[in-house]
Amino acid sequence: MSQNYKFDADKSTQAGLRLWVAFILGFWLVGFRAEVCILLGAIGGLATWRLINYWTAEKVELKDKPKDETPPPSAPPPISPLGRVLRKPAERFRRLGSRPKLPPGLPKLPERKPPKRI
């Protein structure tokens, strides 16, 4: 059996907002500017919200799914996200060797000689 969690958003949201205000007042009393107080208070409130959200989570038992979702053997294997991103550049690189070469009868460009130093 796999487990999942149910989060109670009310408790954690209230605690996060209360501590946000407490952090703002605390930083203001220490002597920080208002913008910094709000920013640091928001960071503290979000951290508190996240912690309490996980601490008060309840385990919920889930039923196992049947394992009949395997693809048929004739289907190609699924491509990973990285494989999807790199597929086009890799195909272009493989095609470089199969490009037709220039015909041998074309004249070569003259080589440029470096200037002489005095």
pLDDT tens string 12-42: 889 899 999 999 999 999 999 999 999 999 9
In a domain, 19, yes or no: yes
pLDDT in tens, 49-90: 989 888 888 877 776 665 666 656 676 667 777 777 666 666
CB 3 within 8 A of CB 64: no
**What is this structure's pTM?**
0.47
Q: 6: domain range?
A: 2-62
Number of domains in the chain: 1
The string of DSSP letters for 47-100 reads HHHHHHHHHT-EEEEEPPPPS--PPPTTSPPPPPHHHHHHHHHHHHHHHHTTSP
DSSP β-bridge partners for residue 60:
4
In a domain, 14, yes or no: yes
CB 59 within 8 A of CB 5: yes
CB 6 within 8 A of CB 60: yes
Can you say whether residue 77 is alpha, beta or left, with left for phi > 0 and alpha for psi between -120 and 50 degrees? beta
| pLDDT class of 1 with cuts at 50, 70, 90 | very low
In a domain, 55, yes or no: yes
